[in-house]
A and B are shown apart, each in its own frame.
Chain A
Amino acid sequence: MTSADSQQPDAGARRHTGLMVLAWAWVGLPFAYGVYELVQKLAQLFAG
């Protein structure tokens, strides 16, 4: 087995991890925005 062969799985794993981070950020960031806006409204319940 050459060193190039052993590096291929690493590159594949890195690509997979990168894709996972991108995919979770794609849905996570808008969701975090929604939760942030919700928390701001929540404060009104305890202030009112």
Chain B
Amino acid sequence: MPPAALSVHLAIGQAYAWSVFKPPLESSLGLSGTQSALPFQLGIVMLGLSAAFGGTLVERNGPRWSMFVSMVCFSSGFLLSALGVATRQYWLVVLGYGFVGGIGLGIGYISPVSTLIKWFPDRPGMATGIAIMGFGGGALIASPWSAQMLSAFGTDTGGIARTFLVHGVVYAVFMTMGVLLVRVPAEGWRPAGWEPGRAASRALVTTADVSARNAIRTPQFYFLWIVLCFNVTAGIGILEKAAPMITDFFAETATPVAVSAAAGFVALLSLANMTGRFVWSSTSDLIGRKNMYRVYLGVGALLYLVIALTGNASRPLFIVCALGILSFYGGGFATVPAYLKDLFGSYQVGAIHGRLLTAWSTAGVLGPLIVNAIADTQKAAGRTGPALYTTSLYIMIGLLAVGFLANELIRPVSERYHERPAAEPETRAAERGQTR
């Protein structure tokens, strides 16, 4: 099951490498930077929307269906984009990559989550950590691969169209492996020697099931939404502006950071983001989800404080703190499905996860907006160096503190939201019947 999940997540993780296509699209089609970012932005919006609204379908029809839909949408997005570039119809690229491909991103992102949790009920954090680490790793593969293909085919419209075409075909083949491999465990399957009751003796871990419809009526869902949103906002603020940030921070020191070194810093942050997804999510199986988020939010806020207080005094210290923050950013993404499973059970955890991902879409707008707007204002006021970012850093500390408080307020879900065991088989049979 993990390779099946990875074959989807490693493919759709390509979305974070969209920036490779921006300069050639701008020069060959005469686009502005804002216009060339449109397919990616629409893709992320569609990711959140399709995960939120398609989650129930994913639960009903199972992982093979959803991985297939994801593969068709994601690959078709590239094929439509190839057609759009070849015919110089940029709207087709936006529609193809952003709208159609974005649906593939959302459905693909949540498709293996619930199945992984059912296969590994004893280590849900590790299981979802592997898959969601794949989403981080997707850009690591796509970024150099796309760049090499563009340099081979050329950066004119013909070259970009051929590159999109190859991406569409290769990703279709690559994701098909996941579609073929994925298996749902038999009803009642459990790992040898594992007892659900023993795991449920931990605070917050339930053996009951809560439907997606009921989950969004609980305060726990909204507290977790705030936790995810602010944890992601804090990380994305650094991630999105990493290269100019490290350059600005140390511009006035004896050892300024060169452009190539800034690219290395971005790469290091990607590694921390990816590793954090697996390491911290697996750690949450040992120390519990609530404690893990205390670390992400509490220690994350302290690391931001260290950067704000020390400024450009030490480059290694700045890098270590940024790495910690980015590892917590990745960990926050990867641990949340297991947190949902603890609170709401595994019954419709994929659908609930889909709805929670609207927090990601919100943070994707909020984080860059805060950091960019404040840096621009400070620059206009004639400030330089760390002063460009100090206010943003304190805002991030405030957001993390609010997230920490929201995490503290999370309690076990009230029994009135639990599915009734006696009605369970009928309800589920009825739901299955509706899909036929």
**B10–A41 CB distance below 8 A:** no
- Other-chain contact of B271, A23, A24, A38, A48 (Cβ < 8 Å): A38
A20 to chain B, nearest CB (A): 8
B147 nearest in chain A by CB position:
A37
Alpha-carbon gap, A31 to B145, bound state (A): 11
A47 to chain B, nearest CB (A): 7
Q: Which of B250-276 contact A (CB under 8 A)?
A: 257-258, 260-268, 270-271
Q: How large is the interface on A (under 10, 10 to 19, 20 to 34, 35 or more residues)?
A: 20 to 34
Q: Is the interface of A mostly helix, strand, loop or mixed?
A: helix
A43 touching B264 in the complex, CB below 8 Å, given contacts A26-B177, A37-B144: yes
Among A27, A31, A33, A44, the most chain B Cβ lie within 10 Å of the Cβ of A27
**A45–B10 CB distance below 8 A:** no
**B141–A23 CB distance below 8 A:** no
Q: Is the interface of B mostly helix, strand, loop or mixed?
A: helix
Q: Does B207 make an interface contact (CB < 8 A)?
A: no
- Other-chain contact of A45, B6, B144, B145, B264 (Cβ < 8 Å): B264
Alpha-carbon gap, A2 to B372, bound state (A): 74
A24 touching B3 in the complex, CB below 8 Å, given contacts A34-B144, A42-B271, A48-B258: yes
Q: Does A18 make an interface contact (CB < 8 A)?
A: no
A23 touching B140 in the complex, CB below 8 Å, given contacts A38-B271, A48-B258: no
**A45–B265 CB distance below 8 A:** yes
Which residues of the other chain, B, contact A12 by a CB distance below 8 angstroms?
Answer: none
**A41–B263 CB distance below 8 A:** yes
- Return 15 A-B CB contacts under 8 Å, by A number: A20-B3, A23-B3, A30-B10, A33-B145, A38-B270, A38-B271, A41-B264, A41-B267, A42-B267, A43-B264, A44-B267, A45-B268, A47-B264, A48-B257, A48-B264
Task: Please give the residue numbers on chain B whose beta carbons come within 8 Å of chain A beta carbons, in ascending order.
Answer: 3-4, 6-7, 10, 134, 137, 140-141, 143-145, 174, 177, 181, 257-258, 260-268, 270-271
